Amino acid sequence: MNALWTAYQFHIREQIRTKGFRITSIVISLLILGYFAYNHFSSNEEEVLVTVINTSSYSIDEKGLKENIEGLKLTTKELKDSEKEKEKIKEQDLDDLIIIEEKGSVPVVNYFYHRRPDPTVLFSFTTQLQQQYLVKVSTEQALSPEVMNQLFQSIPVEEKMLAENNGSLGLVYVFIFLMYTFILMFGQGVAMSITGEKSTRVMEVMITKIKPIYMLFAKILSSLTAGLIQVSVFFLSGYLAYLIGWINKEQFDIVGFTLDLSQINAGLIIAFIFFFACGYLIYALCFAALGSVISRTEDLGSVMGPVMVLVVGALMVGIKTMMDPTGGLVTFSTYFPFFSPIVAYSKFVMGEISTLELIISGGVLVISIGLISYAAARIYVKGVMVYGEKFKWSHLSAMLKK
């Protein structure tokens, strides 16, 4: 164990002291701070530029529109200017163009936008016109004030969510993004490090000083530690933005997903660390085993194909979990060890998994890591001393049997 600890200390110091690790930590931390700073300052200055061309007998209440559309800047034009306004939208100098016509006393709205419509703008305009149209029809039909009040009576809607957690999609999105990025960065880094040591013949010197299996787990565990340190730095950057006041705790969202900071508690953090570490270990062991049987770094990409398919598959199923956490594929993936770190934790955050299911998923994951560790260790011990041979998948089964 002393040899394992010595190798672990060597690799963790080596990773933390590299310029790549430091530069990545600094750059991403600055990007996180920049993202929150931009959202904070731009939200107060953002304008919604809308042009209205009204050829109907209906009027537009600009004051009422501004109460419903935050940052609205309304401009009125003539019908002859419609083509110029459309060009402004194409060049993104204008957000929306509303052309109001009248056909048979009924108002008709033509809505033009660049790529994504703004439902708030469209709803606000159509609601005003709808109310005026109802007044006009009521007057023509000589309806009594009581009937008119009934027509304008809004339907009360009471929304009640039955899921345990609210605003949890943001947390799920952050976890999926971190897990996917972490596996790609540090998992492949383990494989490239092993292959690099083989190609430079450093492995032949190291293997005389320390057992190969110690070298394997020292590399994997040191990468896990370095990754957790880097993730902690990223979270501290977000916390710094919160202390500065760039994060609104009541209305905090990431790329459109609401994130409820009040949900973060000790249980959520413990589960995050567990599934994050297990998800990394199960893929890092596969990367390390395959990296040990390659003699040249140029051949690494072709061998890593199956593992990369699993990583992408885990990402896709994780995204599906956000939309359908009780589907058949998601249920299966909850216990499939290559997908369960993302899926099980996502369902846990969303309140869509029972305690028993969570324990079973975690137990299957731990057992799978043990079995993969045994297989990866056998492959690694034999693979690090194999040089020159072109890789064949049949070699793996031979190494496991020896």
Q: Do 101 and 35 have their domain in common?
A: no
> Is residue 302 domain-shared with residue 367, that is, in the same domain?
yes
> For residue 21, what is the enclosing H or E element?
helix 19-45
Is 158 part of a structural domain of the chain? no
352 neighbors 268 (Cβ within 8 angstroms): no
Report the SS3 class of residue 401. helix
Predicted pLDDT of residue 54? 92
Number of structural domains, the chain? 2
Same domain (yes/no): 232, 279: yes
Q: Identify whether residues 73 and 103 lie together within a single domain.
A: yes
CATH number at residue 107: 3.40.190
Same domain for 231 and 291?
Answer: yes
Average pLDDT over residues 36-64: 83
Do the domain assignments include residue 308?
A: yes
Concatenating the DSSP letter of every residue in 206-263 gives HTTTS-HHHHHHHHHHHHHHHHHHHHHHHHHHHHHHHHHT-S-SSS-EETTEE--GGG
Taking residues 41-64, report their average pLDDT. Answer: 83
Give how far the C-alpha of residue 240 lies from the chain's centroid of Cα atoms, to the nearest Å.
Answer: 21
| Distance, CA of 273 to CA of 56 (rounded, Å) | 61
* Beta-carbon count within 10 A of 138 CB: 16
Predicted confidence at residue 268, as pLDDT, reads 83
| Residue 217 and residue 99 share a domain | no
Considering only 184-188, 209-213, 349-353, 394-398, which range has the smallest mean pLDDT? 394-398
Residue numbers of the domain that contains 60: 49-140
Whether 313 maps to a domain, the answer reads yes
Q: Looking at the structure, do residues 178 and 61 belong to the same domain, yes or no?
A: no
> Which contiguous run of DSSP H or E holds residue 83?
helix 82-90
Number of helices (H), then strands (E), belonging to the chain: the values are 17, 6
Residues 296-301: what's their mean pLDDT?
72
Give residue 150's Cα distance to chain centre.
46
For residue 315 the two structure tokens come to 């990402």
Mean pLDDT of 306-325: 88
What would the pLDDT profile of 138-156 be if each residue is shown by its tens digit? 888 777 777 777 766 767 7
**pLDDT for the residue 30:** 92
Whether 253 and 350 share a structural domain: yes
Residues linked to residue 51 through DSSP beta bridges, in sequence order? 75, 97
pLDDT digits (tens, 9 = 90+) for 300-314: 777 788 888 998 898
Q: What is the mean pLDDT of the chain?
A: 82
Tell me: do 25 and 55 sit in the same domain. no
Same domain, 111 and 182: no
Which of 105, 140, 175 is where one domain is finished?
Answer: 140
